[in-house]
Amino acid sequence: MAKMTLSCIAFAGLLCVSSLLFASEQPIELDTETGGIKGTLTTPAGASKTPVVVIISGSGPTDRDGNTPAPSGRNDSLKLLAAALESQGIASVRYDKRGVAGSVKAARQESDLRIEDYVQDASSWAVKLAADARFSGVVILGHSEGSLIGMLAAQSSPVRGFISIAGPAEKAAVILRRQLQGRLPPDLVERNEAILSTLEAGRTSGDVPSALMALYRPSVQPYLISWFKYSPAQELTKLTAPCLIVQGSTDIQVDVSAAQALHSARKECELKVIPGMNHVLKMVAADRGKQVASYGDPTLPLAPELTKALEQFFSAVPVRLPSGN
């Protein structure tokens, strides 16, 4: 299947049609106490005992394909990622997080949601797939905020490897503080810092100004508290499985320095900085207009160097069965 898909890229026509005919995607579901979490299983045609990758999307209402319900449209970054893995003979499961898209019925009340719920879901996917006789081993891949969720899940899951793509290295509160610097009116700067500091200390904050309510509404504060306590760089040091850290140089959401910090925290991880790759895994120049447009353009292909980095990682990690098994 890998050769046929590569032929599809290189030569237009019949080979490409044949490749699509043999592609295999099917629905898959994880049962939880609050409802089913819906996903898509992509498997290489004709292959047996393949590695399988659990793909975890980023923050907010990002769905299994890497899209958010924004007016700009789809970018299909994670759908393209699954296809790239399939072209290398690697299966994958990408899923809608609880409360998002097909998994909306599995949502908790916002006041009851914690980041550990997402971690448990990712870990449960890994356990489910590790017990599936079709697969030789499980690798967790997290994109953006999904990187932290993935590395937390990998600490207690039967995984053979971990991949972070565009993952932050600092605590979320530190990043939020930096993002808000210089953007708040003077009368809100002190109040914002007081609220952030309270949440970092593990306590909820009352009397939130209306201008900050979208960020710190009472119902979301317990989730923020649960999220703010984790340092991705520190959590990565707790992993023992082989890992790959990937970062694009034109990412306007996560800087290359974050990948370098993750690598410094655990030097055994391989670091791959991809020149010209942005946050949605496409080759886009460091131009604000082009960057924004790429978030709604599914026709832009995945960065080729990302596919190569994944291929090299899976060639080195003992997750495939020896040939003939």
Calculate mean pLDDT across residues 111-133. Answer: 97
Q: Please report the pLDDT score of residue 290 as a whole number.
A: 97
CB 62 within 8 A of CB 73: no
215, 225, 146, 60: CA torsion to nearest 10: -20
Q: Which of 184, 212, 211, 210 is nearest to 198 (CA)?
A: 212
pLDDT band at 319 (very low <50, low <70, confident <90, very high): confident
| More confidently predicted of 322 and 67 | 67
Q: Please report the pLDDT score of residue 22 as a whole number.
A: 52
Inform me whether the pLDDT recorded for 5 exceeds 70.
no
Residue 26, C-beta contacts closer than 8 angstroms, at least 6 positions apart: 40, 41, 43
State both tokens at 213.
């309510």
Inform me whether the pLDDT recorded for 324 exceeds 50.
no
Amino acid at 101: A
**Where in the chain are the domains?**
25-169+243-316, 172-229
Inform me whether the pLDDT recorded for 18 exceeds 70.
no
What span, in angstroms and rounded, lies between the C-alpha atoms of 262 and 46? 37
CB burial readout 209-247, b (16+ within 10 A) else e: eeebeeebeeebbbbbbbbbebbbbebbeebebbbbbbb
Task: Give pLDDT tens digits for 132-153.
Answer: 999 999 999 999 999 999 999 9
Q: Please report the pLDDT score of residue 16 as a whole number.
A: 35
What span, in angstroms and rounded, lies between the C-alpha atoms of 206 and 322? 59
Fold of 25-169+243-316: Rossmann fold (3.40.50)
Q: Please report the pLDDT score of residue 320 as a whole number.
A: 65
Task: Give pLDDT tens digits for 63-86.
Answer: 999 999 988 889 999 999 999 999
pTM: 0.91
